[in-house]
Structure 1
Amino acid sequence: MPAPDILLLRPMQASVMEALEAAFALHRLDTATDPSARLAEIGPRIRGLAVNAHAPVDRALMERLPNLEIVSSFGVGYDTIDAREAGRRGVIVTNTPDVLSDEVADLALGLLLATVRQIPQADRHLREGRWPQGSFPLTATLRGRTVGILGLGRIGRAIARRLEGFGVAIAYHGRRRQEDVPYAYHPTLLALARAVHLLMVVAPGGPETSGIVDAAVLDALGPDGILINVARGSLVDEAALIAALQAGTIHGAGLDVFANEPHVPEALSALGHTVLLPHVGSGSVHTRAAMGQLVVENLVSWFSGKGPVTPVAETPWSGRT
């Protein structure tokens, strides 16, 4: 029996592409001279997609892949995939949860500390030879502060567990109260922002959460407030954030994600109380290898008749073949 045809939209890690080539008939759209013509040629044969977090999979693409069975996505977020449309068509969508939760949580705590204590700014103060002329200014603190978490999913819980060791109060907002955690629950994001000093954004991206951290939320966070975002840039109204930072409406921000990656507004880079990272939340050799392996495992498991390993909520696996 011939190997199933798999389409790769954009390049992925070499180890992932090698594993896919070994198990399937792999087609790469990123190397095609005319991607549209190539898609017209091979589209009817494609049964699986391997995609990274920034490769859009929408209705138009699915219509060109009439025999598509599964989309295996690299990353925990899958807001660039129309999972509801996939579910309507009977297409399974998988992501790579759990294997990156601890890595992202570690990075989130590092970004939080770097922003509160201005660690990059202090590093520059020393490197630029300014220490002999004066000590680095005193910074904000975690002492006596409450940290609010927007989105208490796998990563949010991993962050909360780490925060417990810092002796800070923890609160959260999500779609529902979670009875098995000891943290204070707030039924609205605005109420959470009013109650905390630092707001950690870890909720999923997508239309439902687009721009939910808006001017009103930032105003509620207040002049001592700090925003940390390790989720998706789409959750934060970037223009409102820039205005709030410039006006002193909030104290600072630590961002690993942006609205139009990899392009970052110059206004954000110019601000002194920001720490900006190039979307590196899961960016360790160890974790990216585990994520890539799960992309391959989902495809191998599916085409061996065992079903997907990590299907997303919109396309649950019922055991059908």
Structure 2
Amino acid sequence: MYKVLITRKLPGKWVHELSQEAEVELWEEDYPPPKSWIISRVADKEGILVTLTERVDREIIDSAKRLKVISTYSVGVDHIDVAYAKERNIKVTYTPEVLTDATADLIFGLLIAVARRIVEGDKVIRAGQWSLPWFPTYMLGKEVNHSTLGILGMGRIGQAVLKRAKGFDMRVIYHSRKRHEVEAEFVDLDTLLRESDFLVVTVDLNKETYHLLDYEKLSKLKRTAFLINASRGAVINQQDLVKILKENKIAGAALDVFEKEPIDKDDPLIQFPNVVLTPHLGSATVETRERMAEIAVKNLILSLKGERPLYEVT
């Protein structure tokens, strides 16, 4: 039988299914395994299934003398040294497409939550601070309908967000590495920043996008604009975002991802009532996470058998 290492517990039946095809060694805890644990166990493994919290670098790859495939339970692959894996003739597979709708749903949930101050309102009630009846100027938010949505990145998730925006009669503009045949206006980055009422970030994390949104670029947003990020935390310079919020240069932000995860209990982002924070929930539905497990396992099995996986990083 094949020998396989899995670095996290997965939802559904798919680890059991894999155990019918391979000898599986599994990290049983909810927190990520230390790198030393992976290195000490990967030497004789032909396949490894990881998540985005485990960094598969040269040291791990060099420790895996028999490795044929790295299957990641994620759409992003910035945690894997893909170039070196390919140099070693090791396949890298991933789980795109399946999490597109769940992530787009969350993005719109974050957008509406921060625009209409839903989380603030919930906190007011739970704290027993709703002391006055309704009055015309209480907790006014920003109308989503007919506003301008800017999408930074027009891949699968960006296009799914665009589809949802049409239901709100939003004007949609976007900036991406290339133009797409979509019902939205392609603009340069400066125009995107200047004209967006809501800026949604959906780009991959790479050398070009690391800290792409720094103080200078964030300063180009309207004071009435909101920033929404459910891609990768490091696309935004988080220290610069805190500075922008302190200076009231934007109306607010909604973030599902952060430069450091989990964020610290005393992270300055927590102090802002106009910032909505969620703990990396983009793909967190039962249906999506189980489907991701299915794809990650099938990618692994097919690759070990010398067959074409469902999704390979090219």
TM-score (norm. length: structure 1): 0.89
Cα distance between partner residues in 1 of 2:37 and 2:103: 39
Q: Secondary structure at the match of 2:272?
A: coil
Query: What is the aligned counterpart of 1:25 among 16, 23, 26?
Result: 23
Question: How far apart are residue 124 of structure 1 and its match?
Answer: 2.0
**Which whole-Å deviations, capped at 9, do the CAs of 1:20-42 have from their partners, x for residues lacking one?**
322211123678x99748845x5
Q: Is 1:190–1:216's contact at 8 Å kept on the other side of the alignment?
A: no
- 2:166 corresponds to: 164
Q: Is 1:109–1:159's contact at 8 Å kept on the other side of the alignment?
A: yes
Give the direction of change, closer, same or farther, for the CA distance of 1:118–1:35 in structure 2 (3 Å limit).
closer
One-letter code of the match for 1:17?
V
One-letter code of the match for 1:205?
L
Q: Is 1:149–1:171's contact at 8 Å kept on the other side of the alignment?
A: yes
Cα distance between partner residues in 1 of 2:70 and 2:22: 14
Q: Is 1:10–1:55's contact at 8 Å kept on the other side of the alignment?
A: no
Cα distance between partner residues in 1 of 2:62 and 2:249: 47
- 2:250 corresponds to: 250
Q: Secondary structure at the match of 1:286?
A: helix
Question: How far apart are residue 254 of structure 1 and its match?
Answer: 0.2
Where structure 2 has 5 or more consecutive residues not aligned to the other structure, the ranges are none
- 1:82 corresponds to: 81
One-letter code of the match for 2:99?
L
Cα distance between partner residues in 2 of 1:270 and 1:38: 37
Cα distance between partner residues in 2 of 1:290 and 1:25: 22
Cα distance between partner residues in 2 of 1:24 and 1:67: 14
Structure 1: 4+ residue segments shifted above 4 A: 33-38
Q: Is 1:227–1:254's contact at 8 Å kept on the other side of the alignment?
A: yes
Q: Is 1:29–1:35's contact at 8 Å kept on the other side of the alignment?
A: no
Cα distance between partner residues in 2 of 1:39 and 1:139: 51
Where structure 1 has 5 or more consecutive residues not aligned to the other structure, the ranges are 314-321
Cα distance between partner residues in 1 of 2:14 and 2:238: 34
Question: How far apart are residue 134 of structure 1 and its match?
Answer: 4.8
**Which whole-Å deviations, capped at 9, do the CAs of 1:205-238 have from their partners, x for residues lacking one?**
1332110011122111121111000001011100
Q: Secondary structure at the match of 2:282?
A: coil
Cα distance between partner residues in 1 of 2:86 and 2:119: 45
The structure with more helix, counted as a fraction of residues: 1
Q: Secondary structure at the match of 1:220?
A: coil
- 1:9 corresponds to: 7
Q: Is 1:4–1:24's contact at 8 Å kept on the other side of the alignment?
A: yes
Q: CA RMSD in A?
A: 2.1
Moved more, 236-245 or 301-310: 301-310
Cα distance between partner residues in 2 of 1:82 and 1:212: 21
Q: Secondary structure at the match of 1:310?
A: coil
Q: Secondary structure at the match of 1:231?
A: coil
Q: Is 2:117–2:139's contact at 8 Å kept on the other side of the alignment?
A: no
Aligned pair 1:98/2:100, yes or no?
Answer: no
Give the direction of change, closer, same or farther, for the CA distance of 1:86–1:142 in structure 2 (3 Å limit).
same
Question: How far apart are residue 81 of structure 1 and its match?
Answer: 0.8
Moved more, 18-27 or 105-114: 18-27
Q: Is 2:68–2:304's contact at 8 Å kept on the other side of the alignment?
A: no
TM-score (norm. length: structure 2): 0.91
- 2:197 corresponds to: 197
Cα distance between partner residues in 2 of 1:231 and 1:79: 12
Q: What fraction of aligned residue pairs are identical, expressed as a percent?
A: 33
Give the direction of change, closer, same or farther, for the CA distance of 1:37–1:287 in structure 2 (3 Å limit).
closer
Alignment of 1:123-202 (within 5 A): 123-135=122-134, 136-178=138-180, 180-187=181-188, 189-202=189-202
